[in-house]
Structure 1
Amino acid sequence: MLGKEMQTHVAVPQVKAIRLQDYGVGIFPTLSTKSALKKALKKKHIFVDGKLGKTSTFIYGNELITFYPLDEKTGQRKLILQLKVLYEDEHIAIINKPAGILVSGNSFKTIANALEQNLKRSIQPDAIKPQAAHRLDFATTGLLLIGKTKASLLVLNKLFEQKLVEKTYFSVTIGKMLKQGTLTFPVDGKEAISNFEVVETIVSERFQCLNLVKLAPETGRRHQLRKHLSANGNPILGDAIYGKAGLILKGKGMYLHAHSLAFIHPVTEKRMYIEQELPSKFGKLFKRN
């Protein structure tokens, strides 16, 4: 049964027509994924200018899109998770992702489910439920770039696709390493490039030596840095998947941190640079501020 409260959205003018199945993701709070949108379309809950919307419906701009959500039960759980917001405006935000949480997915505890309570809703006409423009692993900490409007999210996605977002990470690795270099082992059969620089090395009784390493990936394959460092013989400390048997550090998490982001703002076109200090566990090893 359709809910009583309809939701409306006026489509943003498009340079080139776009299918509703692509445009509609995120324009309504409960339709933040393509699967949710397709489900609503299949159940005939979305209309465009008064006509039943389909996945093949083209959006040119200025159409009135209406969504009639299902009646929802009251008393649904709300995720209470405070996030550190390093930057926010009407179009984008940058938050510090803690370790031990997924960015998105079917789990209740995700960054995606915590964004609305931590960010101000945009007043732009194409405002959407805030969405991450990229991913960080479950155990990785650090900077996550968020889109708050449809237009901004599309531009951010293109920036990542075109490799126009400069990312730096810090990790702690095990074993002797060259001072600097470039790792080019293919990841999942695709080209993958990671630049590294060893900032500091300390002697370790258990691990022989530990390195504080600055990483600058040129590509963005899944688990790229973890796989590259492991293939080089220098797995990340605390990496339970790609680490060496007998040298897995338990209870401290993985030592991989997304330290900085540099990119052109999708609306103001100003160059943005944001960095987040290393977690305290890094400083405990290397005695750095």
Structure 2
Amino acid sequence: MWELFFNETHFCLKVIESHIALELEKPVRFQEYGVGIFNTIPTKSGIKKAIKKKLILIDDELATTSKYISGGEKIALLENEEIESFTRLKLDLEVLYEDDYLAIIYKPSGILVSGNKFVTIANALAQNLKKSNQIDAVKPQPVHRLDYPTSGLLLVGKTSTAIQKLSELFQKKEIQKTYFAISIGKMCSGGVINLKIDNKHASTNFEVLQSVKSERFEFLNLVELSPKTGRKHQIRKHLAKIGHQILGDKIYGINSLKLKGNGLYLHAATISFLHPLTKEKISVSKEIPKKFLKIFPDIKIF
């Protein structure tokens, strides 16, 4: 596309990254559109600095903060030793649903959703999802949490409007989630757990799908759970409180029953809701991990 560019002082600069702008429904200010299109400067503040230092070209002209992008423009980033160097997280994520507003991805167990660590789902989203064409597009971000040791479906917003509306759906309890866990001990066939968590009402429906005898744990149960509230560690706390802690839970339950290795046997398997912008019914499922099948080889969930 471009290889070299001479700036106003006739200093020869090399193009290090280039991008062709996506077709947009409405023009977007470049400093908003440019977030995430370059590996070298993935942040909005970095884009602003590069514009100020005259290191971005749009259709062979220097970019400005007032420049709008409508689609098809040739955008180039010029080399500069002073540009901050960012190390991109290389983490491939399974994308189960995606449109211009939101996405649903699979979070493996043993990875943080977000936080101060480098290896997080949040840090890997931009590289795994398509950039939204909407005028209020933002860096993709999770709109709810899954514990570090929990595997399963994670809902992600790609625009500021989608993030706001999805958060409202969670607050109104209009997003349905189903989990599967392996619990310890002889359980009844099902019911509702209504026990407060942190002095707040919490409710979880559960059904035991299958039980097997265990030499160490007496019984192990494959349990389907639907939380009706969204308290922190709700499922883990509720099962521990009724005397049936989740296999592999190192925080809640009796120490003598805690399992070393193989992680937590808790999986967020389904998520269903009415799309807040397209009004489409969204329902996505993800099969239980293989480690569950080693204990319950005959079970078929989906």
**Match among 74, 84, 87 for residue 73 of structure 1:** 84
Matched, 1:221 2:231: yes
Residues 100 and 255 of structure 1: is their aligned pair in 2 closer, same or farther, counting only changes over 3 Å? same
In structure 1, what is the equivalent of residue 161 of structure 2?
Answer: 151
The within-5 A match list for 1:180-191 is 180-191=190-201
Give me the whole-angstrom Cα distance separating, in 1, the residues matched to 2:113 and 2:284.
19
Equivalence for 2:115: 105
Gaps in structure 1 of 5+ consecutive residues? 1-5, 11-27, 32-39, 46-63
* Matching of residues 55-66 of structure 1 within 5 Å: none
Tell me if 1:197 matches 2:210.
Answer: no
* Post-superposition offset of 1:8: 3.1
Paired residues of 2:243 and 2:253 also in contact (CA < 8 A) = no
Q: What amino acid maps onto 1:73 in structure 2?
A: E
Contact 2:89 2:119 in 1 (8 A): yes
SS in 2 for 1:246: helix
Q: 1:259, 1:105 → 2: CA distance?
A: 23
Deviation readout 1:39-60 (Å, 9 max, x if unpaired): x8xxxx9xxxxxxxxxxxxxxx
Give the secondary-structure state (helix, strand or coil) at the position aligned to 1:181.
Answer: strand
Equivalent residue for 1:170? Answer: 180
Q: Which runs of 4+ in 1 moved over 4 A?
A: none
Per the TM alignment, residue 78 of structure 1 is displaced from its structure 2 partner at its CA by 1.4
Asked if 2 retains the 8 angstrom alpha-carbon contact of 1:29 and 1:128, the reply is no
- Give the alignment's Cα RMSD to 1 decimal: 2.2
Identical-residue share of aligned pairs (%) = 51
Structure 2 counterparts to residues 1-289 of structure 1, below 5 A: 8-9=31-32, 30=43, 72-74=83-85, 76-287=86-297, 288-289=299-300
Q: Deviation at 1:7?
A: 5.5
**Structure having the higher Rg:** 2
Deviations 1:50-95 (A, max 9, x none): xxxxxxxxxxxxxx899xxxx7522x22111111110111111000
Give the Cα separation in 2 of the matches to 1:230 and 1:157: 28
Report the CA distance between 1:243 and its aligned residue.
3.0
Q: Is the 8 A contact 1:237 1:243 kept in 2?
A: no
Query: Given that residues 132 and 158 in structure 2 are in contact (C-alpha distance below 8 angstroms), is that contact kept between their aligned partners in structure 1?
Result: yes
Distance 1:193 1:29, change over 3 A: farther
CA shift, 1:185, in A, is 1.0
Partner of 1:19: none
CA spacing shift, 1:248–1:78, aligned 2, 3 Å: same
CA distance in 1, matches of 2:135, 2:207: 44
